[in-house]
Structure 1
Amino acid sequence: MTETSTERLQLRTADAETAMLEAADENGIKEARLTYPSGWLWLARDDETRALVEALADAEAGTRYGTDDLAALVDLDPDTVESRVETLLSLGLLVADEGTYRVNEYSGVRHAVGELTAVVEATGAPDGESPFEHLTRLESVRLLLDALLSAEPGRSFTQEELHDLTGVTRKAVWAHVEKLVALSVLEESGDEYVLNSESPVYRWTQSLDAAVVGAVLTASHP
């Protein structure tokens, strides 16, 4: 999903959950999840936003950037970065400050991304791939995590159930569910997968999801 405008998207707060389920009946659960994204899905929806979020999470608080500086930071063209700035401001990662953008030292999203990156790295992300990108790069993994965020602790799933909950193809579920096992989000139990709600990766993904929703729904940032 490459949509960056909020016009066609409504974050999946409790009030939007019913609308998502109604949309699923008409368009399928995958499209419904993407149309009414969780904070997690909204944050990780495209390559450029993820790259900027990761870079700013690692940047020193208070650092000021112009659009060209941000573009150079992640090797993107300035027009692409400019189209993402509104998102970065709404997430509270950046604060507009005297013609520049300042990294927000109080950003809950920034903190959660940093912690999530650290716990993914501790599991051994492959060489040459950043931990955050390792977790977020594949849409199928993002959607699987999205479905798990609202699951009951200790719930078990078959691959077919994961397919039904996400709309991810059966082949993709089979291919990528093992990544969540490797990250200790899921534990294998026979032919099923049990949610490990104590997994640091899972808990920080939940924290990031909540931080994104809180930031986007807040009218102002420090």
Structure 2
Amino acid sequence: MTLPTTDDAQLRTSDTGAEMWEFAEDADPAEARRAYPSGWLWVTGEDAVRSLLVALLDADPDARYGFDDLASRVDADDAAVERGIDALISLGVLVADEGTYRVNEHAIVYHAAGELSRAVEATGAPDDESGLAYLARLESVRLMLDALLEADRDRSLTQEDVHLLTGVSRKRVWLHVEKLVDLGVLEETGDEYRLGPESPILRLVQSLDAAVVGATLAPSHP
């Protein structure tokens, strides 16, 4: 299965997580996270994959879509659309069906992405934008969420901590961390941040992450 990031990327699992941090000793933490993407970064890291998944969240599961139908839903060239389709087939979200494609509404990745998108929409996404698109549009936010997947709920983080964990520049952390505060993923405590105890969004990001890893490692799709 080809990862929708770079050709030499290795999916981050419990077995490869330590390798990411070894790589990070000689590289930018952001580069290390891209080289060892979590399931969350796997599915949101390439524009065409993310945009196609977002577009399909409202698709008719009984409909059949041709390549041109899917390509018209994303702003990408044909090669990128093909990679997006291949990625979503391998995750069980799309099923190839006699030269067309249909959405598998029962796929755990599809279900997890839909739940996350609706939770973001209920919390603060603009009315004209999908919750998943709003949450995952910026790489800085994707990387910060990636770092929070396994964060200790009792630990406070400064903006400098977030910078060191993610490789996101200090300026971009300062600019975009408030998005996670507004969505309840983080709450401010003075000059520090803690995981928000009431927000379902981080939990649903974790669910999507686990769904992608599970589908990637043990595919069993129709």
TM range (shorter): over 0.9
Deviations 1:107-160 (A, max 9, x none): 111111111111111112134433222100111100000000011223210111
Task: Tell me what 1:4 maps to.
Answer: 4
Partner Cα separation in structure 2 for residue 208 and residue 94 of structure 1: 16
What is the total number of aligned residue pairs between the two structures? 220
Quick one: which amino acid aligns to residue 147 of structure 2?
A
Distance in 2 (alpha carbons) for counterparts of 1:155 and 1:62:
46
**Cα deviation per residue 1:75-96 (whole Å; 9 max; x = unaligned)?**
5444431232211111211112
Contact 2:5-2:45 at 8 Å conserved across structures: no
Could you tell me how far 1:54 is from its partner in structure 2? 0.7
CA contact (8 A) 1:68 1:78 kept: no
* 1:13-61 CA-partner distances (Å, limit 9, x unpaired): 0111111011101112111001000000111112211110011122122
Report the residue type matching 1:10 in the other structure.
Answer: Q
Aligned partners of 1:62 and 1:104 also within 8 Å: no
Change (3 A) 1:197 1:42: farther
TM-score normalised over the length of structure 2: 0.92
CA RMSD between the two structures: 1.7
2:9 maps to amino acid:
L
For the residue of structure 1 that corresponds to 2:177, the secondary structure is helix
Query: What is the DSSP-based 3-state SS (H/G/I as helix, E as strand, rest coil) of the residue aligned with 2:87?
Result: helix
Give the corresponding residue for 1:153: 153
Corresponding letter in the other structure for 1:186: L
1:87 corresponds to = 87
1:50-65 to structure 2, matched below 5 A, reads 50-65=50-65
Q: Structure 2 CA distance, aligned partners of 1:170 and 1:156?
A: 17
The question of whether the paired residues in 1 share the 8 Å contact of 2:155 and 2:194 is answered with yes
d(CA) in 2 for partners of 1:210, 1:146: 12
Long gaps (5+) in structure 1: none
Match of residue 20 from structure 1 = 20
Letter in 2 for 1:203: R
Note if contact 2:5-2:46 (Cα within 8 Å) is conserved in structure 1. Answer: no
Say whether residues 1:97 and 2:97 are aligned partners: yes
1:72: which partner in 2? 72
Instruction: Give yes or no for contact 1:30–1:166 (8 Å, CA) kept in 2.
Output: yes
- Name the residue aligned to 1:119: 119
Rounded to whole Å, the distance in 2 between the matches of 1:30 and 1:78 is: 28
Post-superposition CA distance 1:182-208 (Å, at most 9, x none) = 000001001100112541111111111
CA distance in 2, matches of 1:178, 1:25: 28
Provide the C-alpha distance between the structure 2 equivalents of 1:174 and 1:77, rounded to a whole number of angstroms.
33
Distance 1:12 1:5 in 2: 12
Partner of 1:169: 169
Task: Please state whether the residue corresponding to 1:86 is helix, strand or coil.
Answer: helix
- Counterpart in 1 of 2:49? 49
Identity %: 60
Q: Higher helix share goes to which structure? A: 1
User: How many angstroms apart in 1 are the aligned matches of 2:192 and 2:74?
Assistant: 39
TM-score by length of 1: 0.92
Within 2, Cα distance between the matches of 1:5 and 1:101? 23
Q: What letter corresponds to residue 137 of structure 2 in structure 1?
A: R
Segments of 5+ residues of structure 2 without an aligned counterpart are: none
Partner of 2:137: 137
**Partner of 2:16: helix, strand, or coil?**
helix
